[in-house]
Amino acid sequence: MNRFDFIRPTSLADAVAAGTSPGSVYLAAGTNLIDLMKIGVTRPERVIDISRLPGLDRIEWLPDGSVRIGALVRNSDLAYDKRFAAAYPAVAEALLSGASAQLRNAATVGGNLLQRTRCAYFQDTASACNRREPGSGCDALQGENRLHAVLGWTEQCIATHPSDFCVPLAALDAMVEIEGQDGRRELPIGALHRLPDAHGATESVLAPGDLITGLRLSESTAFAAHARYVKLRERTSYAFAIVSAVALLSMDGDRIKASRLALGGVAAKPWRASAAEAALVGQRATREAFERAATAALGDARPSGDNAFKITLAHRILVRALTLAHQGTPKVLPALPASPFPDPHSPAPKGDLHVA
């Protein structure tokens, strides 16, 4: 780790002013940043400790039923907040399927949004990576890439966004509050992260000094009864997603009134599946309808390397998320959040699920 200046501003304005100068990074919990500094991916000149900035660690319920979550709220505090988990159960499940209990206790909401890809070539400073060093190339493209992107990638970058939390946030159109040089603004989360293009792999639309101060989720009672997040991993816990999916359904009897769908682990941003949502409106909740939706979601998917199987898995996990969501939000959070393995408290669906 290089030497750096460590400062702790006491106000948001001071923080943003400090953050504007080149080479500055914001430190909240540091669960991602400190790691990146240790492996040399990030070598900041100045670390701005925002962890004590006042007013950013609250969950506030607004009169219109929406909720505002301060950027410094810890992942575990949000997931275990009873009112929040009842209103946004898939968000809680996604949060609790990520990382470990220790990391969730430390990691913040704002940091989770801005966590960086775990692509091995991004983390390995001896490799070429357009995301880490624009213009250097992408060594993942011809490298070990079985877990890389299948949607929205270009030859500039095939990395995936690692967050679980962001997947249901994308489905719910969460609004991101940003404090910047020119004051406060808001963005839908779908507009925060950027996909790679023909020229490079800029990660987000944030400008120097921009500081995420909070998130806002609009009232979503309509989806609370049918909300699931499902995640495939290479071990039962403490692993990033191979692929994941969130499905939120608003039901009218047997018919789907509305749905919100997103995929994780497939692209450089949480992947909102709008075409699939449209395909479900007014449909009966059947396996066939779910299959059609998944097909619509993955129409543009293509392997970026040795990872064609992820397209199959993404399709199937979306069907699974829809199936589980239709079955209903479990009354008790499963022992293994987001796991496809059933839980004594909320058994997996029986019947015509299996296509093996």
Partner 1 sequence: MPFSISLTVNGQPNSIALDDPRVTLLDLLRERLHLTGTKKGCDRGQCGACTVLLDGRRINACLTLAASLDGSTVTTIEGLANGSELHPVQAAFIACDGLQCGYCTPGQIMSAVGLLSEGHAGDDPERVRELMSGNICRCGAYQGITQAVLEAGQAISQQNRPVPAEGSENGRSAA
Partner 2 sequence: MSPEISSHQAAPSETKAAANRYGSNAGQPLTRRDGLLKVTGRATYAADNHPEGLVFAVTAVSRIARGRVRAMNIDAAKAHPGVIDVLTPANRPPLSHDPDEKMPPFGFRVEVLQDDGVRYANQPIALVIAETLEAATEGAVLLDPQYDVEPARVDRATGLRFDPPGVGVGGDPSTAYGDLDAGFSQAAVTLEGEYETPPQYHNAMEPHAVVAEWDGDRVTLDMPNQALAMSCASYAAFFGIPVENVTIRSPFLGGGFGSKAIINGPQILAILAARMLKRPVKLVLTRAQMYGPVGHRGQTWQKLRLGMDSDGQLTALHHRSMSATSAFEDFLEPAANASLPLYASPAILVEHEGLRLDTGTPGPMRAPGEASGSAALEVAIDEAAEACGMDPLAFRLKNYAETEPGTGKPFSSKALRTCYAQGAARFGWSRRPLSPGQMRDENGLLVGWGMGTAVFHCPHFPAEARATLRADGTALVETGAADMGQGAWTALAQIAAEALGLDADQVEFHAGLSTLPDAGVAGGSAHTASAGLALHQAGGDAIARLTDLAVNDPQSPLFGAGNIGVIARRGRLYRRDDEARHESYAQILARSGQSEIIGTAKSARDPAVASDHALYSHGAVFAEVKIDPDLGQIRTTRLVGAFAAGRVINPRLVQSQYFGGMIWGLSFALHEEAVTDKRTGRIMNADLAEYRVPVNADIPPLEAILVDEEDAIVNPIGVKGVGEIGITGTVGAIANAVWHATGKRIRKFPIRIEDML
Give the interface with partner 1 as residue ranges (CB under 8 A): 1, 3-6, 8, 27, 29-31, 34-35, 38-39, 47, 49, 51, 76, 80, 99-103, 105-106, 236-238, 335-337, 343-344
Strand 175-180 relative to strand 211-217, pairing? antiparallel
Pick out residues in 300-339 that bind partner 2 (CB under 8 A): 309, 312-313, 316-317, 319-320, 336, 339
Could you say which of 14, 49, 143, 187 contacts partner 2 (CB under 8 A)? 143
Among 2, 82, 135, 332, binds partner 2 (CB under 8 A): 2
Question: Which of 241, 247, 228, 230 is closest to 99 using CA atoms?
Answer: 241
Map residue 239 onto helix, strand or coil: coil
Closest CA to 327 of 344, 308, 346, 310: 346
- How many residues of this chain bind partner 2 (CB under 8 A)? 46
Binding mask 40-79 for partner 2 (x = CB under 8 A): x---------------------------------------
Binding marks (x or -) toward partner 2, 230..249, rule CB under 8 A? --xxxxxxxxx-x-------
List the one residue out of 280, 315, 323, 271 whose CA is nearest residue 294: 315
Nearer to partner 1, 231 or 269 (CB): 231
User: Is the CB of 111 or the CB of 305 nearer to partner 1?
Assistant: 111
The span from the first CA to the last CA of the chain, in angstroms, equals 49
- Least separation in angstroms between residue 299's CB and partner 1 is 35
With CB under 5 to 8 Å by kind, the binding choice for 133 among partner 2, partner 1, none is none
**Contact of residue 84 among partner 1, partner 2, none (CB under 5-8 Å per partner type):** none
Q: Which is nearer to partner 2, 256 or 314 (CB)?
A: 314
Closer to partner 1 by CB, 234 or 352: give it. Answer: 234
Helix (H) or strand (E) holding 284: none
Backbone conformation region of residue 266, classed left if phi is above 0, alpha if psi is from -120 to 50, else beta: alpha
Find how far residue 167's CA is from the centre of its chain: 4
User: Contact 261/277 with Cβ under 8 angstroms?
Assistant: yes
- Answer for the pair 198, 153: CB distance below 8 angstroms, yes or no: no
Q: Rounded to the nearest 5 degrees, what angle is found at the Cα of 240, between the Cα atoms of 245 and 155? A: 85
Nearest by Cα to 262 from 341, 193, 197: 193
Residues that bind partner 2 (CB under 8 A): 1-3, 40, 118, 120-121, 124, 126-127, 139, 142-144, 146, 232-240, 242, 309, 312-313, 316-317, 319-320, 336, 339-342, 347-351, 353-356
